């Protein structure tokens, strides 16, 4: 039975009608910044729908946690992952195909950042959310997103040596600790090219394609290079090896890849 995702709830923004909260990155690669408050208190229990990020001109991979809790006691409820080449382009609203239903009435919202490199120029972050009760059909979970590899550079993947030839399979996860639902993939490429990425499961040499993503990497500019999976992929069981391979209009095209998922049960 068709039951598409929809809602009549108006999306809220924190901070609202204001520049995003400024976060100064840690000077050490992949080390957390301090938590920065986005909103002192939500007016009702809420569902997190996405994160809007503004970054300076630099090439990096990054993760932003959204947290709840009092200052110095923040707990991350979700993480977005992306990559940049410079600060051209936009938009940069990184949304959750499955809403994060883990914000209690009155909760304080905050964010922290970690990234590759040592640049400490400030970023801006805002969160978007729906006040509960949500009218409509919107799959939500209290399970935070998981990133692989976490707090580290994406896995390097190289396309085949000639145009549209498959590259070798590259392992992302040796063995899943639980069944997972894939909601996004970060794919940061090199120069302009057409690209396809197969996500596969199975032992080395016996991988089976479970989905294929296609995109156009243009001029290697901007960001955040996140491919949302609108219908989240629910075909990776526990204790499963996960790998990827690439092909491109440009032979030997180089990518870095990170997987964004929820561990089951949702």
Binder of another protein out of 149, 196, 202, 251 (CB under 8 A)? 196
At its nearest, how many Å lie between another protein and the CB of residue 70? 25
Q: Are 67 and 75 in contact, with CB atoms under 8 Å apart?
A: yes
Told to check if 120 binds another protein by CB under 8 A, we report no
Told to check if 49 binds another protein by CB under 8 A, we report yes
CA-CA distances (angstroms) from residue 7 to 104, 131, 137, 225? Answer: 20, 11, 6, 27
Binder of another protein out of 122, 227, 254, 263 (CB under 8 A)? 227
> How far apart, in whole angstroms, are the C-alpha atoms of residue 65 and residue 76?
6
- Kindly indicate which of the ranges 70-78, 93-101, 110-118, 148-156 contains the residues binding another protein, using the contact rule CB under 8 A: 93-101
Q: Are 128 and 93 in contact, with CB atoms under 8 Å apart?
A: yes
Told to check if 3 binds another protein by CB under 8 A, we report yes
The pair of three-digit structure tokens given for residue 105, joined into one six-digit string: 């009435």
Q: Are 166 and 53 in contact, with CB atoms under 8 Å apart?
A: no
Told to check if 142 binds another protein by CB under 8 A, we report no
Cis peptide before 173 (omega within 30 of 0): no
Strand, helix or coil for residue 84: strand
Told to check if 237 binds another protein by CB under 8 A, we report no
Contact code string over 173-192 relative to another protein, x by CB under 8 A = --------x-----x----x
Told to check if 202 binds another protein by CB under 8 A, we report no
Q: If residue 205 lies in a helix (H) or strand (E), which one and from where to where?
A: none
Told to check if 72 binds another protein by CB under 8 A, we report no
Strand, helix or coil for residue 240: coil
At its nearest, how many Å lie between another protein and the CB of residue 196? 6
Told to check if 99 binds another protein by CB under 8 A, we report yes
Cis peptide before 133 (omega within 30 of 0): yes
CA-CA distances (angstroms) from residue 48 to 32, 77, 123, 141? Answer: 21, 9, 20, 10
Binder of another protein out of 37, 54, 158, 170 (CB under 8 A)? 54
Told to check if 28 binds another protein by CB under 8 A, we report no
- Kindly indicate which of the ranges 21-29, 87-95, 104-112, 150-158 contains the residues binding another protein, using the contact rule CB under 8 A: 87-95
At its nearest, how many Å lie between another protein and the CB of residue 101? 12
Beta bridge partners of 239: none
Binder of another protein out of 105, 136, 174, 177 (CB under 8 A)? 136
- Kindly indicate which of the ranges 11-19, 36-44, 109-117, 146-154 contains the residues binding another protein, using the contact rule CB under 8 A: 11-19
* Burial class, 259, CB count within 10 angstroms (exposed 0-12 / middle 13-18 / buried 19+): buried
Q: Are 180 and 237 in contact, with CB atoms under 8 Å apart?
A: no
At its nearest, how many Å lie between another protein and the CB of residue 24? 18
Told to check if 59 binds another protein by CB under 8 A, we report no
Binder of another protein out of 26, 32, 45, 89 (CB under 8 A)? 89
């Amino acid at each position: 039975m068709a039951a598409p995702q929809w809602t009549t709830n108006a999306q809220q923004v924190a901070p609202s009608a204001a520049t995003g909260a400024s976060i100064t990155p840690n000077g050490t690669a992949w080390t957390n910044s301090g938590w920065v408050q986005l909103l002192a208190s939500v007016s009702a229990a809420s569902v997190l729908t996405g994160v809007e990020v503004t970054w300076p001109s630099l090439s990096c991979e990054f993760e932003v946690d959204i947290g709840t809790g009092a200052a110095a006691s923040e707990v991350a409820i979700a993480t977005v992952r992306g990559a940049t080449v410079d600060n051209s382009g936009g938009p940069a609203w990184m949304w959750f195909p499955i809403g994060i239903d883990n914000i209690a009435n009155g909760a304080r919202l905050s964010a922290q950042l970690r990234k590759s490199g040592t640049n400490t120029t400030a970023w801006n972050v805002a969160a978007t959310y729906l006040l509960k009760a949500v009218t409509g059909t919107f799959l939500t979970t209290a399970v935070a997103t998981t990133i692989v590899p976490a707090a580290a550079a994406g896995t390097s993947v190289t396309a085949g040596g000639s145009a549209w030839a498959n590259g070798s399979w590259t392992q992302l996860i040796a063995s899943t600790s639980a069944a997972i639902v894939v909601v996004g993939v970060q794919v940061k490429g090199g120069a302009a090219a057409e690209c396809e990425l197969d996500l596969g499961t199975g032992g080395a040499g016996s991988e089976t394609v479970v989905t294929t993503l296609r995109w156009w990497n243009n001029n290697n500019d901007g960001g955040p290079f996140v491919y949302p999976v609108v219908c989240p992929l629910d075909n990776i069981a526990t204790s499963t090896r996960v790998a990827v391979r690439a092909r491109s209009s440009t032979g030997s095209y180089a990518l870095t890849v990170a997987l964004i998922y929820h561990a089951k049960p949702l």
